[in-house]
Structure 1
Amino acid sequence: MQENSYQQLAQAILDGHTVCRMTVLDGDDMGKSRNVVDGVPFVDAAEDISACKPPFICTDRKTGARVLCETLCQQKTLLVCGGGHVSMPVVKLGKMLGYRVLVADDRPEFAEPSRFPEADEVVCRDFTDLLVHLDWESLPDLSVVIVTRGHAADTVCLREVLRHTCTYVGMIGSKRKNKAVFDLLRSEGVTEEQLSQVHAPIGLSIGAETPEEIAVAIVGELIQTRRGSANAGLSEAMLTALAEGQTGIMATVVRKQGSAPRGMGARMFFMDNGHKLGTVGGGLAEYEVCQKAETLKQERKPCLLTFNMSNGEAGKSGMICGGMIDVLFEVVG
Structure 2
Amino acid sequence: MNIFAHAAQLEELNTPFALTNILETSGSAPRHQGQMIVKLDGSIIGTVGGGMIERYVIEQAIEAIKQREPRVVKGRMTRTGPDAMGMDCGGSMTVHIDVFGLRAPLVLIGAGHVNRAVAKAAHVLGFDITVADAFADSLAEEHFPQGSKLILGNTMEEAIDKLTINSASYVVIATNHQDKDAISKVVKQDAKYIGLMASKRKVQTLFTHLRNIGISDERIANVYSPIGFSIGAETPEEIAISIMAEILKVKNSAAGGLMKDDTRINRKRLVLIRGAGDIATGVAIRLHNSGFKVVMTDIAKPSVIRRSVAFAQCLFDYSVTVEGITAKKADCSNSVYKLIDQGMIPVLVDEQCTSAAKLHPSFVVDAILAKRNLGTSKELAPHTVALGPGFMAGVDCDAVIETNRGHHLGRIIYQGETAPNTGVPGNIGGYTHQRVLRAPHAGVMHCHVKLGDIVKEGDLIAQINDTPINAPLSGKVRGLLNDELEVYEGLKIGDIDPRGEDADHLSVSDKARAIGGSVLEALLQLEMQS
Q: TM-score, structure 2 length as denominator?
A: 0.32
Q: Which has the higher contact order (CA 8 A, sep 6+)?
A: 1
Report the structure number with the largest CA radius of gyration.
2
